[in-house]
Amino acid sequence: MGQASQQAPGRYQLSQLDVLEAEAIFIMREVAAEFERPVLLFSGGKDSIVMLRLAEKAFWPGAVPFPVMHVDTGHNFPEVIDFRDRRVAEAGVRLVVASVQEQIDAGKVVESTGRWASRNRLQTAALLEAIEDHGFDAAFGGARRDEEKARAKERVFSFRDEFGQWDPKNQRPELWSVYNTRIARGEHIRVFPISNWTELDVWAYIQRERLELPSIYFAHERSVFERDGILLADSPLIARDDTEVPFTETVRYRTVGDLTCTGAVKSTAVELDDIIAEIAATRITERGQTRADDRASEAAMEDRKREGYF
């Protein structure tokens, strides 16, 4: 608990961040107690940074009792990979990398081609194979219900069948904070401890806990080009056509994902305070502003989640 719990107006009143933190810690402990092989998905993005911090707090002074896993599309921002490795070493947890590139090289999946080529969808195969290979029975994700309308419907403990599929019409009822953790062999549960957090809560928590972030979250100069209203990084990983002329802009990233489908936003925010002010004033959702992958159709996220996406 932060300072807030001692100074809140009512004596037995917790601040919103304290309540959300207590809930997330409860969920993480529940998983550690009831599953044999949990894993925490860790991309080096802000939500997973919060998740790793919560895991450290939940089991302190003991070590985090599960490894972390990065589903690596191979299309990374180098700053984020540096950060990932540093943070994982600092936390003393084991890192498992589920590599999309290895899946492609082994001929298990085929990369899409053309202007809209993205490895986003291929992550699902890499994730599911890693879950199977390592025998993971629970995978923590940093998804939030405020991100997207299909996620708003998903349980905190979200059951996946032996093919990793989500069945939105047949979800287990979830009452109070009593979570059903029972599964058969080969099935697993995706667990979302920060389901009830908003984007602003995540930033406020990062500020309160003084969490380090990859540098690309802060304003910097970058060579970018515009595609369908989204500013994409000028990178050898993305094929531009002749009309897509790169230019230098002061930008930051509001979300961190695969480089080929994550857009930057124009920003001069170099401090956390500036970012929080910017988020509080924005009129566009983070996925709407920065994720090309959600634009495929109105139910793009629901469809990907059914297949096993996080």
Q: Minimum distance from CB of 72 to other proteins (Å)?
A: 29
Site for other proteins in 269-298 (CB under 8 A): 282-285, 288-289, 298
Among 16, 165, 223, 268, binds other proteins (CB under 8 A): 16
Cβ-based nearer residue to other proteins, 180 or 250: 180
Report whether 64 contacts 93 (CB < 8 A): yes
Q: Residues 146, 130, 299, 179: what is their CA dihedral angle, to the nearest 10 degrees?
A: -50
Residue 233 has a CB neighbour count (10 Å cut-off) of 21
Using CA atoms, how far residue 272 sits from 46, 59, 206, 247, 277, in Å, is 12, 27, 9, 26, 9
How far is Cα 254 from Cα 163, in angstroms, rounded to an integer?
A: 32
Member of 110, 178, 210, 242 binding other proteins (CB under 8 A): 178
Of 226 and 234, nearer to other proteins (C-beta) is 226
**252 phi, psi to nearest 5 deg:** -140, 165
CA distances from 72 to 43, 52, 211, 212, 299 (A): 8, 18, 23, 21, 24
Contact pick of 101, 180, 235, 250 for other proteins (by CB under 8 A):
180
The C-alpha atoms of residue 84 and residue 81 are separated, in whole angstroms, by 5
Q: Give the end-to-end CA distance of the chain in Å, rounded to a whole number.
A: 29
CB nearer to other proteins: give 77 or 253.
253
Rounded CA separation 123/112 (Å): 13
| 108 counts as binding other proteins under rule CB under 8 A | no
- Residue type (1 letter), 86: R
**Binding to other proteins (CB under 8 A): which residues in 234-253?**
none
Binding segment for other proteins (CB under 8 A), chosen from 8-16, 43-51, 117-125, 240-248, is 8-16
- Residue from 204, 206, 219, 224 that binds other proteins (CB under 8 A)? 204
Of 211, 285, 198, nearest to 50 by C-alpha is: 211
Q: Is 198 in the site for other proteins (CB under 8 A)?
A: yes
Burial class (CB in 10 A: 0-12, 13-18, 19+), 2: middle
Q: Which stretch binds other proteins (CB under 8 A): 72-80, 123-131, 178-186, 257-265?
A: 178-186
Binding mask 30-69 for other proteins (x = CB under 8 A): x-xx----------------------xxxxxxxx------
Minimum CB distance to other proteins, residue 248 (Å): 26
* CA dist list (Å): 253 to 10, 64, 107, 256: 38, 29, 32, 6
Residue 188 sits in the site that holds other proteins (CB under 8 A): no
Number of residues that bind other proteins (CB under 8 A): 73
Stretch that binds other proteins, among 5-13, 121-129, 133-141, 211-219 (CB under 8 A): 5-13
For residues 18 and 82, which CB has a smaller minimum distance to other proteins in the complex?
18
Stretch that binds other proteins, among 23-31, 36-44, 120-128, 219-227 (CB under 8 A): 23-31
Is the Cβ of residue 171 or residue 215 nearer to other proteins in the bound state? 171
The strand order across the sheet containing 157-160 reads 95-99, 68-72, 38-41, 138-140, 188-191, 157-160
Among 47, 72, 129, 146, binds other proteins (CB under 8 A): 146
* Contact pick of 106, 182, 248, 271 for other proteins (by CB under 8 A): 182
Find the shortest distance in angstroms from Cβ 90 to other proteins. 15
Tokens (6 digits) for 246: 């790169």
Q: Is residue 210 close enough to count as binding other proteins by CB under 8 A?
A: no
